[in-house]
Amino acid sequence: MKIIDQLHSDNRGLSCELFPPKEGGQLANALDIVREISTQGVDFISVTYGAAGTAVGKSVSIVSEVEKCGMTAMAHLTCVNATAQHIEETLGTLRDAGVQNILALRGDLPAGMTLEHEAYRHASDLVKKIKEYGGFCVGGACYPEGHPESAGLDDDIEKLKYKVDNGVDFLVTQMFFDNTIMYNYMYRLLAHGINVPVIPGIMPVTNARQIARICKLSGTKLPLHFRAIVEKFADDSEAMKQAGICYATAQALDLLANGFKDVHIYTMNKPDVIGGMMENLSHVVRHD
Ligand code: FAD
């Protein structure tokens, strides 16, 4: 199913993100995670693409498994350092696997890798390419607190408009922990003439050290009241996990109550985390 059709329906739900195992990691384990999540009733499962195309085979195996389980898949695809031929081959592979949704990203060049191909400089170039190829529903990334490289939030939104003008069907946000930031962002998008559906992305924090590193890299802020929770339970892994699921559940509930159709959960490959949220919101999510 195309995600844009889900977003235009009366359904309300959660989707989630998985990432492929690192080099030498266990693909079989990732496929088991897909099968486990496929029983939980999420709207769709997205699968990340290794930086600059590393581990591409594993990403494709995982999205194929999502489709085989009868779920809607969204394949992430990055274009930094990619050639047109590589992009076309990957699109053909995804189409043959039954994938109908792609999150078009620029990506970042991994440390130590030199830029050899500049066919696609920005995600908007990739959006255009996929739309010309045809057949896919295309999403793009957006950043309610601004992309770390941008000169500011308004500058970032002006650049975001290129993706929208090139045909992006919907947007998925970087994680945030304060819903007021998201509502403020929505006003700004509308003021810039961006009115495609937006899927807010949130992360249930289950590991205090990990979240400190992620926030530093992405520029995401932890609100004071949530920082107190993280600090209090940092050394008690079970309490931290429960607190993280509760906090993310409250965030998702607020977002769904205020009209968002889907909330995307950054699960860090933990089926019990998305399972816990689905259970907490079992009467709130709705699939007609
Ligand atoms: P772009 O939209 O190209 O933006 C990057 C920067 O360039 C921004 O500062 C923007 O303001 C600026 N910009 C955009 N267009 C122009 C233009 N025409 N002229 C000048 N400046 C411009 N990374 C992975 O490697 N794999 C993944 O699977 C992955 N999944 C992600 C999923 C989500 C929901 C998000 C939010 C991020 C994801 N990332 C992933 C990380 C992402 O690749 C990085 O944040 C990357 O730095 C930017 O990618 P982008 O697609 O947002 O780039």
pLDDT at 24: 64
pLDDT at 23: 67
Give residue for tokens 């957006």.
142
Is residue 105 within 6 Å of ligand 1 at its C-beta? Answer: yes
Distance 160 CA to ligand 1 centre (A): 9
pLDDT at 223: 94
Closest CA to 7 of 44, 60, 52: 44
How many helices (DSSP H) and strands (DSSP E) are in the chain? Answer: 11, 8
The single-letter code of the amino acid at 242 is: Q
- Are the C-beta atoms of residues 204 and 279 closer than 8 Å to each other? no
Distance 37 CA to ligand 1 centre (A): 27
Distance 286 CA to ligand 1 centre (A): 31
Q: What is the DSSP string of 146-199?
A: --TTSSSHHHHHHHHHHHHHTT--EEEEEE-S-HHHHHHHHHHHHHTT--S-EE
* Cα→Cα distances 285→78, 244, 282, Å: 31, 19, 6
| SS3 of residue 39 by DSSP | coil
pLDDT at 210: 87
- Name which residue sits closest to atom 33 of ligand 1, judged by CA: 141
User: Which residues of the chain are under the pLDDT cut of 70?
Assistant: 23-25
pLDDT at 212: 87
Is residue 79 within 6 Å of ligand 1 at its C-beta? Answer: no
**Residues designated catalytic:** 17
Ligand 1 atom nearest the C-alpha of 201 is 34
pLDDT at 155: 97
Is residue 264 within 6 Å of ligand 1 at its C-beta? Answer: no
pLDDT at 57: 85
